[in-house]
Amino acid sequence: MVSFSINMWKQNKMPAISTSFSRFCLVLLLQIGLIPVAKSQLPVLSEQQLQWLGERVFTNECASDYECLTSWNSGEDFPSLGIGHFIWFQQGQIEPFEETFPALLQHYHSRNVTLPPWIQALSGPDSPWRNRQQFYVEFDSADMQQLREFLATTKPIQVDFIARRLQAALPLLLANVGVQERSSLDTRFYRIARSHAPYGIYALIDYVHFKGTGTRPGERYQGQGWGLLQVLRQMQDGPDTLYNFIAAATTILERRVANAPPERQEQLWLAGWRQRLQTYLPPATEN
């Protein structure tokens, strides 16, 4: 039992700023069996498939580096913890980002998962590290090692947390197109999600995490975006398959590079982007 109440966490933390990625993934994953819905339009994933999704997130976000589970990036004012880089603020800290680690701890509590004793003993919901230097001085401490082990062995819980947090992005996408186009994009979205389960769902989750929803006006070069919305619209002349999704995403990313300011030298990134898209394909032996 944690020594401070969940309600105290809610009362003491600053209001979170929602992100389009967060809203997107809950709408997507709540329909794969993690959250009950009346009519599921997506396949129900097995525990093994959910574990696979957790490992894919870990690979893409941390290159499967165990120590990445507790990190503090240079130039940032907060640590990033777990497979989804859940961030944790100090008391009174205000940032233009959504704080997620306290809510993850609440989610563990709701699932009756025992937290590491030193976290249970905290007097409140705030990060115990004053700065990055202190964080890395304590990096090899028993408490930090225990936290990394805890995060490494609870990846499915973290995937479940992502699913419950990341909400309402499909309506967000559809709100950015004309009424006459919404039905076709909605259909395309779900067909991709059902393609080669769990690869289709993985492709949608990862692309949004990778390049965004495509709905932010500031994420444009020469007036053209590169997020999920643009990929789905690019698919209009081809079948709604995972393979066509990857082809459309490749076209959109190539267009981004062509439109980018020359000084950004984004052509240097394109090979890596193409390689990441290829991870959305199932092995050739799978149907």
pLDDT in tens, 147-181: 999 999 999 888 777 756 544 568 888 999 999 99
Residue 29: closest CA among 60, 54, 11, 65: 54
Instruction: Identify the pLDDT of residue 38.
Output: 32
Q: Residue 82 corresponds to which tokens in the numbers above?
A: 């777990």
Among 30-34, 54-58, 129-133, 240-244, where is mean pLDDT lowest? Answer: 30-34
Q: Are 53 and 45 in contact (CB under 8 A)?
A: yes
Q: 9 falls in which pLDDT band (50, 70, 90)?
A: very low
Instruction: Identify the pLDDT of residue 31.
Output: 52
The mean pLDDT value for 224-242 works out to 90
Count of H-run helices and E-run strands, the chain: 14, 3
- Strand runs (DSSP E) across 63-124, as ranges? 70-71, 80-81, 86-87
Instruction: Identify the pLDDT of residue 44.
Output: 73
* DSSP classification of residue 178: -
* DSSP classification of residue 217: T
Instruction: Identify the pLDDT of residue 232.
Output: 94
Q: What percent of the chain has pLDDT over 70?
A: 81
Q: 271 falls in which pLDDT band (50, 70, 90)?
A: very high
Q: 198 falls in which pLDDT band (50, 70, 90)?
A: confident
- Say if residue 2's pLDDT is above 90: no
Global pTM reads 0.69
Instruction: Identify the pLDDT of residue 273.
Output: 94
Instruction: Identify the pLDDT of residue 4.
Output: 42
**Residues 119-152: tens digit of each pLDDT:** 999 988 999 999 999 999 999 999 999 999 999 9
Among 34-38, 39-43, 132-136, 222-226, where is mean pLDDT lowest? Answer: 34-38
Instruction: Identify the pLDDT of residue 12.
Output: 47
- Residue 178, amino acid: G
